[in-house]
Amino acid sequence: MVLADKTLEEITIEPSNLGKALNGDRVRVRIRYAGRGEVIAVLARAKTRFVGMVQGDFLVPDDRRMYVNIYLPHHAKRDANEGEKAVVEMLGWKGEYPEGQVLEILGKPGEHETEISSILSEAGIVHNFPIEVEREAQKIKMGIHEIMQSEVPKRRDMRSASTFTIDPVDAKDFDDALSLKSLGGGRCEVGVHIADVSFFVKPGTALDTEAAKRANSTYLVDRTIPMLPEVLSGDICSLMPNQDRLTYSAIFEIDMQGKVHKEWFGRTIIHSVKRFTYETAQGVLDSGNGPHVAELKTLWEIAFKLHKERIKRGSIIFDKDEIKIEMDANKKPMRIYVKEHLATHKLIEEFMLLANRHVAQYFHKISGGRQTGTLYRIHDTPNKERVENLKLFLQSLGYKIEGNWKKFGHKEINDLFEQVKGADIEELVQTAVLRSMAKAIYSIRNIGHFGLGFEHYTHFTSPIRRYPDTVVHRMLTKHLGGKTVSPSEVADYEHMASYSSEKEKESENAERESIKFKQAEYMQTRLGRGEVFDGTIVGVTEWGLFVADKATRCEGLVRIGSLGDDYYEFNEKKFALIGTKTKKVFRLGDNIKVKLAEVDIPRHQITWELTV
């Protein structure tokens, strides 16, 4: 399938007419007849580096969208041995196969470092920083005492405010902190304090160039590949307890109903007095005892009101499960479980959303609605085809959605989520709804955020791990200083928005693949035991059933040929496999019991079989 540049028309390309084009390539197409064409030229390759296994004189790519193996001449194989994983640069196309050369030998398939390196290489993610970037970061650290002394008089001093952070137990970088001060009369001052990365990372430096290139931090099961060097991300910029830190703050005068009466944006200095984890903060809320209990209770009361008002205004509430994998010292998975979603998660989420939304509203207000290069986080409305497909899917589960596709909005989705809450298919339905929607992206053209129900929204609260947030801080500094963004900067921001959106997807794919790797490795330890797993059918295809274990969310395939007792046909409209003789039905959302049949660690794949 090819998407035409000007008309956005989809053009079908048969495999025989690909003309050596690969997935994501920019191509020139000749239209043969209605809706179909052939590639006559490859204008730009989307990808030239591939990860895979060396087999004979070829690399067999891990990327399933790469439909052809890469030929490796003897001189180009370096010392890669049969069966090893390697990174290969595709040099050109000679005859039937593309030709390449080995850039890096990753190691034996299935081993931890080999698989993690493969995932990172496939996504184009590099761990180590260039020497010049590390040198600039170290220079900042060496001069931090003088920097702090000179900055204090220039900033709003918030060090006397009761300030703390709430983060995951294994967090290394603390982007945000909250402060609370009672103002009397049923109002209080809430400060959302964000690491002032833009103060330390200046345009034109090696630090900024590398941060823009990475666009975000990547979080794999066993490591973080940071956007910024550790000196900044885990020290100078991180809002650690008992340290003065430079911040960019959104400060709100707010009542107990969550109504904002005044707002202020600007550079500050803070001193966090406590580092909470989500669990320890929740313990204080639940027990009513502990450090900063009064502040936590007040912030939770306001956050709860903000949450209720957000739903009322149109936010869609996704409570998707998050998987946690515990590993031993050798990185072997010991336990996989679904993390509990706590009230403290919601507390932090609501105040970050509040700050992001109000910064975006400020940008809109000062621009008068004109196009000024402001960076927004946008989320388009679902299109007709996706909604109609979703409605068919939901009907197959017994949930009928009334009205036409245009009326399938925030209220209908939240009502649906309430109907399935606590049911075995809750996760399945939420995933299906999420997939029916467009993906949120960065853009300088604001169309609002459908999922959140916000007319204006941006990312302001995580500059240590997201480059767009750093750019938003720079924009805010310009506007607060009465300056405007130049046309050349607008063009740069437009490119950066598109690039950052793509890099975000690459990181998310790498994160998911690392989880699948560990899930496969975990299940291999349980292979051969005859253990029975309670599963849910989460996908139905013409070649079998995809089943997820309820306890670990490990997903695998039950091959259609292994069903055995009948000939099964795929009914696309009913999302089911139906036996032609017995009429036995395996339907999406059904609960079934399965056993492990096979685990392929290098491919991160699990195969189930039904229990008798």
Domains of the chain, by residue range, sit at 2-44, 49-109, 131-364+457-475, 384-437, 526-610
- In the prediction, which pLDDT does 426 show? 81
Whether residue 401 has pLDDT greater than 80: no
Residues above pLDDT 70, as percent of the chain: 97
CA geometry: angle 381, 387, 388, nearest 5 deg: 150
Whether residue 471 has pLDDT greater than 70: yes
Q: Which residue has the higher pLDDT, 494 or 402?
A: 494
**Distances in Å between the alpha carbon of 261 and those of 51, 106, 179, 192, 427?**
55, 57, 17, 15, 38
How confident is the model over 563-611, as pLDDT tens digits?
A: 887 899 998 878 889 999 999 999 888 899 999 999 999 999 999 999 8
From the list 7, 69, 1, 63, the residue with the least C-alpha distance to 37 is 1
Residue 562's identity, in one-letter code, is S
- Check: CB of residue 516 under 8 Å from CB of residue 597: no
From the list 117, 264, 113, the residue with the least C-alpha distance to 193 is 264
287 Cβ neighbours under 8 A, 6+ residues apart: none
In CATH terms, are 49-109 and 526-610 the same topology? Answer: yes
- In the prediction, which pLDDT does 57 show? 93
Q: Is 597 exposed, middle or buried (0-12, 13-18, 19+ CB in 10 A)?
A: middle
Whether residue 12 has pLDDT greater than 90: no
**Distances in Å between the alpha carbon of 580 and those of 188, 565, 611?**
67, 10, 21
Strand order in the sheet with 576-579: 568-571, 576-579, 585-587
Confidence of residue 407 (pLDDT cuts 50, 70, 90): low
Confidence of residue 405 (pLDDT cuts 50, 70, 90): low
How confident is the model over 173-210, as pLDDT tens digits?
A: 999 999 999 999 999 999 999 999 999 999 999 999 99
* Distance, CA of 241 to CA of 166 (rounded, Å): 11
Lowest mean pLDDT among 250-259, 376-385, 386-395, 400-409: 400-409
Is residue 225 classed as helix, strand or coil in its secondary structure?
A: strand
Class of the CATH-defined domain 526-610: mainly beta
Mean pLDDT of 448-461: 94
Q: Which residue has the higher pLDDT, 601 or 419?
A: 601
- In the prediction, which pLDDT does 402 show? 67
Whether residue 237 has pLDDT greater than 80: yes
Confidence of residue 5 (pLDDT cuts 50, 70, 90): low
How confident is the model over 521-571, as pLDDT tens digits?
A: 999 999 999 899 999 998 999 999 999 999 999 999 999 999 887 899 998
Mean pLDDT of 420-427: 79
CA geometry: angle 228, 231, 236, nearest 5 deg: 100
Q: Is 301 exposed, middle or buried (0-12, 13-18, 19+ CB in 10 A)?
A: middle
Confidence of residue 270 (pLDDT cuts 50, 70, 90): very high
- In the prediction, which pLDDT does 336 show? 96
Q: Which two tokens stand for residue 90?
A: 């595709």
- In the prediction, which pLDDT does 291 show? 96
Whether residue 445 has pLDDT greater than 70: yes
From the list 361, 385, 398, the residue with the least C-alpha distance to 575 is 398
Average pLDDT of the chain is 91
Class of the CATH-defined domain 49-109: mainly beta
Mean pLDDT of 408-412: 76
* Distance, CA of 133 to CA of 208 (rounded, Å): 9
Q: What DSSP element (H or E) covers 513?
A: helix 487-524
Residue 129's identity, in one-letter code, is F
Beta bridge partners of 120: none
CB atoms within 10 A of CB 137: 24
Confidence of residue 25 (pLDDT cuts 50, 70, 90): confident
- In the prediction, which pLDDT does 487 show? 83
Strand order in the sheet with 156-157: 156-157, 260-271, 244-255, 187-195, 176-184, 162-167, 274-277
Whether residue 23 has pLDDT greater than 90: no
Q: Which residue has the higher pLDDT, 569 or 425?
A: 569
- In the prediction, which pLDDT does 403 show? 61
Can you say how many angstroms the Cα of residue 228 is from the centroid of all Cα atoms in its chain?
18
Rg (CA), the chain: 26
Is residue 462 classed as helix, strand or coil in its secondary structure?
A: coil
From the list 553, 567, 479, 563, the residue with the least C-alpha distance to 522 is 553
* Distance, CA of 277 to CA of 295 (rounded, Å): 15
Pairing of strands 70-71, 10-13: unpaired
- Check: CB of residue 190 under 8 Å from CB of residue 254: yes
- Check: CB of residue 174 under 8 Å from CB of residue 165: yes
- Check: CB of residue 178 under 8 Å from CB of residue 191: yes
Confidence of residue 431 (pLDDT cuts 50, 70, 90): confident
Whether residue 448 has pLDDT greater than 80: yes
* Distance, CA of 199 to CA of 46 (rounded, Å): 34
